[in-house]
Amino acid sequence: MQAGKDVALVTGSSSGIGFETAILLARSGFYTYASMRNLEKSRDIIQIKNNEKLPLQVVQLDVNDDMSVKEAIDKIESEQGKINVLVNNAGYVLLGPAEDLSIKEFKEQFETNFFGAIRVIQAVLPSMRKQREGIIVNISSSAGRIGLPINSAYVSSKFALEGLSESMAYEVEQFGIRVVLIEPGFIRTNLVNSSTSAKKRLNPKSPYFSLMQKVENQFRSRMEDISSSSPPIEVAKVVLQAVTSQNPQLRYIVGTTIIQARMKMSDREFGKMIMQSFSM
């Protein structure tokens, strides 16, 4: 796929990985639609677009809303005639142990992180099939391959996204469409600070309260540690590498991650390492 001739849509572009990816794709010649639920958060990306005269537009898109997704895709296809690149990045972290999370909280996590991606994918696939070309990039996580304490809902949603992507890759390859998973490790974003916590977890009487504090502190420490985390631009660079490759991989690991360690250990060994990491 050659930049300069293609149209990209990036969801969740108001900050972090989505922001950096949309900017980098536009700088690389892709006509890029940076989508976000709340357009009030678009000031920074619009300022960069105007200063650099980038081929970029901001579009309102709420991945949880069928009509919002349809209207955004219809707008892009009516203006550009196609969408070649879709980067599903919209998502959030819900912290809390499985016992303390309500079914409603679990469903809301999946609604954005998993079903939100499906909504956008289903909306762009008809035109990609018609043009017999396209690439769908789903931003997963190392947590899409590895379980972590106090991350039951988030990890589950990313495991689901991994399974969807791997299965769908077989289905759409016949139409010239490729599916890619990006699996970042610790990335220096505001993910922890902007995360949502289980309502029960806020109660210091929760039997998991102490563990929750330990895990939150550990995540925050690792994300702030330059030696063990990466800036979001590193993820954006890998996305660009994937979408411009003649033969992209299914999975790309980005930054410091424990996936490599997991592949070399037994379940028991890895579990012991995780317990020690979080002082459990």
CA distance 150 to 145: 15
Sign for the CA dihedral angle at 77, 78, 80, 82 comes to positive
CA distance 246 to 129: 18
Look at residue 73 and tell me if it is in a domain: yes
Query: Which of the 8 DSSP states describes residue 112?
Result: I
Could you tell me which residue, 257 or 174, shows the higher pLDDT? 174
> What is the average pLDDT score of the chain?
90
- Secondary-structure breakdown of the chain: helix, strand, coil percentages, each rounded to the nearest 5: 50, 15, 30
Look at residue 92 and tell me if it is in a domain: yes
CA distance 95 to 181: 23
Quote the pLDDT of residue 101: 92
CATH number, residue 68: 3.40.50.720
Share of the chain above pLDDT 70, in %: 88
Lowest-pLDDT choice from 64-78, 89-103, 205-219, 261-275: 205-219
Domain count of the chain?
Answer: 1
Q: What is the mean pLDDT of residues 52-74?
A: 98
Instruction: Answer yes or no: is pLDDT of 200 > 70.
Output: no
**Kind of pairing, strands 31-36 and 7-10?**
parallel
Task: Write down the catalytic residue from 31, 33, 154, 208.
Answer: 154
Three-state SS letters, 139-173: ECCHHHCCCCCCEHHHHHHHHHHHHHHHHHHHHHH
CA distance 51 to 26: 13
Look at residue 2 and tell me if it is in a domain: no
Could you tell me which residue, 195 or 39, shows the higher pLDDT? 39
Look at residue 1 and tell me if it is in a domain: no
Q: What is the mean pLDDT of residues 10-15?
A: 96
Look at residue 146 and tell me if it is in a domain: yes
Host domain of residue 167? 7-277
Look at residue 174 and tell me if it is in a domain: yes
Instruction: Identify whether 33 is a catalytic site residue.
Output: no
Quote the pLDDT of residue 197: 64
Residue type present at position 43? R
Q: Which of 220, 193, 211, 191 is nearest to 100 (CA)?
A: 211
Q: What is the mean pLDDT of residues 146-174?
A: 96
